[in-house]
Amino acid sequence: MVTEAWLYGSTARGDRDRASDVDILIAGDDDVDVGALGLSELGELSVTQYTWEELRTMAGYGSLFLHHLRLEGRPLIESDGREMASLLCTLGPYTRAEQELDCFRQVVDDVDRALDRDHSVSFELSVVATAARHAAILGCYLIDEPDFGRDSAFRRLLPRLGYTGVDVEAAIELYKFRRADDEGRPPDVAASTDDARAWVAKVRKLIDQVRNLTHDDPG
């Protein structure tokens, strides 16, 4: 089967900034010269590749990544048979929300334990921030308002869960630790171990709130 290339993420959404990668999915077994796609000048390319067998397996449980691709992705190289588009058209609901939330909770618990040992506050907060953003993205899907943006997922979900505007901005501020870690630089904001413990508790609560949404999700 032929290989396709799809653009997704912030570049496809149109909200990329100087820190954004250019996210590209390669679907198929063959290599693709991603440099020839003409996107290198936009930023660093972040390439993910799955075989068609892997993608069919992912579609079988309604992969949230494929829902992301269906919502925002656009083809860069598409086959005559439009295999990826056909796969996305038949994509069913996501069925692994509980397992994913268990993973988020485990990550946050690991951070909690790490804070009792030698640790980097900024790194641990970057990990917590990542769990928070993924929980928010999953929550948006569960309320049938899918949103895969860096900040917009927080803005869309948290008010629905009763959070204030201040809470939303704090969550977006937290994610700056992840962005700083990705860029290999010190974060723009300072934080203490006590701050990290407070965020562990807050993100645990968010994960529990998103878990409650799964009870109402028909998938």
Q: How does residue 1 score in pLDDT terms, banded at 50, 70 and 90?
A: low
CB atoms within 10 A of CB 156: 19
pLDDT tens digit sequence for 202-213: 999 999 999 999
Q: How does residue 218 score in pLDDT terms, banded at 50, 70 and 90?
A: very low
Q: State the CATH number of the domain containing residue 136.
A: 1.20.120
Domain boundary among 41, 57, 89: 89
User: Residues 71, 102: one domain?
Assistant: no
Alpha-carbon gap, residue 187 to 129, rounded angstroms: 13
Question: What phi and psi values does residue 96 have, to the nearest 5 degrees?
Answer: -120, 25
Provide the domain count of the chain: 2
User: Do residues 84 and 78 make contact, with C-beta atoms less than 8 angstroms apart?
Assistant: yes
CA 32 to chain centre: 24
User: Residues 81, 24: one domain?
Assistant: yes
pLDDT tens digit sequence for 66-75: 999 999 999 9
DSSP element (H, E) containing 49: strand 45-50
**pTM score, whole prediction:** 0.92
User: Do residues 104 and 133 make contact, with C-beta atoms less than 8 angstroms apart?
Assistant: no
Q: Is residue 10 part of a domain?
A: yes
Alpha-carbon gap, residue 118 to 134, rounded angstroms: 26
Domain of residue 173 covers: 97-214
User: Residues 80, 116: one domain?
Assistant: no
User: Residues 105, 158: one domain?
Assistant: yes
